[in-house]
Structure 1
Amino acid sequence: MKMKKLSILMPVRDEESYLQEALDSLLAQSFSDWECLILDDASTDSTPAILSDLAAADGRFKILRSEKPLGIVKALNLLLGKAKTPFCARMDGDDISMPERFLEQLKLIDANDEVDIVGGLVEPVGDCPVGWRDYLSWLNTVVTAGEIRINALTESPLPHPTWLFRTASVKAAGGYREGIFPEDYELFLRLLASGGKFAKADTVTVGWRDHPNRLTRTSKRTSGDAFLKIKAAYFKPLVSAGVFPELSTRPIAIRGAGITGRLLKRELDKAGVRVSAFIDPLKAGKNFSGMPVFAPDEVNQLDYLSLIAIRHRDAREVAVNELNGAGLKFGRDYLLLY
């Protein structure tokens, strides 16, 4: 039997509300040379029955089941280990793949031998609160390889549900790692730090659903602090790898001396990155862990590489506008980490 070109990796648990819609979107793909490896991670709802009926009707669906919960990382690595195809794609049981998704992504990665992972644009499915809509809008502005690199520490610029990747590249990197961090983002940063290349299809590939029970909303691994910690851990490796080619070598100042900025300082200390100052208009004159806090008008902004770590969006935008107004450039004079 001829080997399929693409394996779709789909770990699921208790997805009865959205699973059929997700599976129907795979059946509607214009590219059909795929297999779908699904791990039912100890579901207690009607998910097993839905999967059983589908596998009986279409042999491209291969169903595995764990009677005890494995968790997302073990589930993903188990499915990755089963994949023997040149390419793998990620799919969640509550999202929708657009009909041309795999065709367009495979065209892109086939045309670029150096690329390890391709993503795509996204659109919201179901309820879309303002914050979620803003995040998706930002994702869709980060398209080129250069934009993906320069925004690597802002947020994850390649949403995991859109990934289509070279199987050999991810296996050679060791697959997904367990830890109190977002496993997909950590893998992205690890590949990037080791010279990995990324691209993004400039068409909508996935309808991404947000809901209160989504793993991203319920797991400590995907909290804002968890993201910030893994960003700090990879800051030095990414800089050393030349991911930010224009980045200043000036002393580092953290813009924001609140809880978030101080957490970033502690995590950078652990990673062997020296911070010289905090800059914060509301906490100027204070001292945290032996580090002075300056007001913006007390320093020459060009004397520092600013790492912005401000939890509240409005205050963060004020800082960005101030830096831009002073002629500073994102990716050269400052980075956004929160």
Structure 2
Amino acid sequence: MPGSQPPEISVALPFRDAGAWLGGALESLRSQTFENFEVLMVDDGSSDDGASIAASFDSQDRRFRPASPPSPGITAALNHAIALARGRWIARLDADDVCHPRRLEAQLALARSLGSGTVVSCLVRCTGGVAEGWRLYEEWVNSLVRHEEIARAMFVESPVPHPSAFFARETVLEAGGYSEGPFPEDYELWLRLWSRGVRFRKVPEVLLDWRERPDRLSRTSGRYSTEAFFSLKARYIHRAPLMEGHRRVVLWGAGPWGRKFTDLLAREGISVEAFVDVNPKRIGGVVRGRPVIPPARLPDMRGIPVLVCVRSRGAREEISSALARMNFEEGSDFLLCT
């Protein structure tokens, strides 16, 4: 255990009614190979034994610091933890997840080598009652390691699992901290940091066990709904490099979510010039006052950014391949938004 030196890492760990798992999360931190850290255990109004578990760790190890946010909610708890942090680096952890012993050591080493302008993450292993969709997300998110891969995927889903994140305290404070609103606070922060030029990178090693459970906040709160994610995508899409100088797009996907995304884009001053679809019942028709064309017509519209918004399983890969065959380049000519 380190002496009187200030901690280099502050772990931001908010919790609420997580007594069944909190001890395991805290024990995984106590078992870290890197020891110069503190844990800010922010109790967001627990009614179970979580507070007593936090107090127990505090009494045994002075690196574990209980705290209470000035107002309720995950965003307030996270910002409170960052405000209290004494470390240069912030590591995120949820109360129901478990760090592998080398997590802090490995992420700190990568963060030091890259500097404060990079958010560092790691590969994750999903645990608990994991559905097929969650397994597919795990496979996808673990395939994104380099900044270029993460940046290209920024509008597909959140490319950085929140409890795996490791970043410089000053970087997030300079960006304004976590924002409160009807949206996922982590995804909004990644988009905001990315739009400010912050880079992303992952340690290519599984360093976190990420628990999936039906009562997880991301499954029960409307701020993590599909529409909330799409609203954020529409809000930040103009910052994508291929959108520079453009306020018109071609949208691949004339289905329900394509139409919904069109409405959200319109609120941000971006109009859809045409829809692309493979459904013969839609081709030749009109959606939101715009024509629906087959993929073969896309070369005629080259120069207008193509946004892909089809949520059916496997469509992302099929559409990417089809666009590549037409010499459309991802990131320069088209962007995956689902």
Deviation string for 1:283-302 (max 9, x for gaps)? Answer: 22222222111122344376
State whether residues 77 and 176 of structure 1, in contact with CA within 8 Å, keep that contact through their aligned partners in structure 2: yes
Q: TM-score, normalised by structure 2?
A: 0.92
Cα deviation, residue 10, structure 1? 0.6
Residue 263 of structure 2 corresponds to residue 260 of structure 1: no
Counterpart Cα distance in 2 of 1:103 and 1:113: 15
Alignment check: 8 A CA contact 2:14 2:95 kept: yes
Q: Which amino acid aligns with 1:219?
A: S
Deviates more, 1:307-316 or 1:36-45: 307-316
Q: Secondary structure at the match of 1:313?
A: coil
1:26 matched to 2:25: no
- Do 2:102 and 2:207's aligned partners in 1 also have CA atoms closer than 8 Å? yes
**In 1, distance between residues paired with 2:140 and 2:315?**
18
Q: Residue in 2 aligned with 1:35? A: 38
Report the RMSD for the aligned CA atoms in angstroms.
2.2
Offset at residue 161 of structure 1 (A): 0.7
Q: Match for residue 335 of structure 2? A: 335
Return the offset for 1:280.
1.5
Structure 2: distance between partners of 1:147 and 1:24? 33
Whether 2:274 is the aligned partner of 1:277: answer: yes
User: 2: distance between equivalents of 1:301 and 1:155?
Assistant: 29
**How far apart are residue 140 of structure 1 and its match?**
1.1
Q: Which runs of 5+ in 1 are unaligned?
A: none
Match in the other structure for 2:296: 297
1:248–1:305 Cα contact (<8 Å) kept: no
Q: Residues 301, 16 of structure 1: CA spacing in aligned structure 2 closer, same or farther, 3 A cutoff?
A: farther
Task: Give the % identical residues.
Answer: 36
Q: Report the secondary structure of 2:114's partner residue.
A: coil
Task: Output aligned runs, 1:312-323, within 5 Å.
Answer: 312-323=312-323
The alpha carbon displacement at 1:225 in A equals 1.4
Q: Secondary structure at the match of 2:11?
A: strand
Q: What corresponds to 2:68 in structure 1? A: 65
The answer as to whether partners of 1:42 and 1:69 remain within 8 angstroms in 2 is: no
Match of 1:153 in 2: 155
Task: Quickly say closer, same or farther: Cα 1:165–1:75, change in 2 above 3 A.
Answer: same
CA distance in 1, matches of 2:324, 2:24: 44
* Matches of 1:107 and 1:307, distance apart in 2: 37
Native 8 Å contact 1:252 1:306 kept in 2: yes
Secondary structure (helix, strand or coil) at the match of 1:265 reads helix
Gaps of 5+ in 2: none
Deviation at 1:273, TM superposition (A): 2.1
Change in 2 beyond 3 A, CA 1:35/1:193: same
Distance 1:140 1:179 in 2: 28
Q: Is the 8 A contact 2:100 2:207 kept in 1?
A: yes
CA distance in 2, matches of 1:248, 1:294: 24
Q: Give 1:132's aligned residue.
A: 134
Count of paired positions = 332
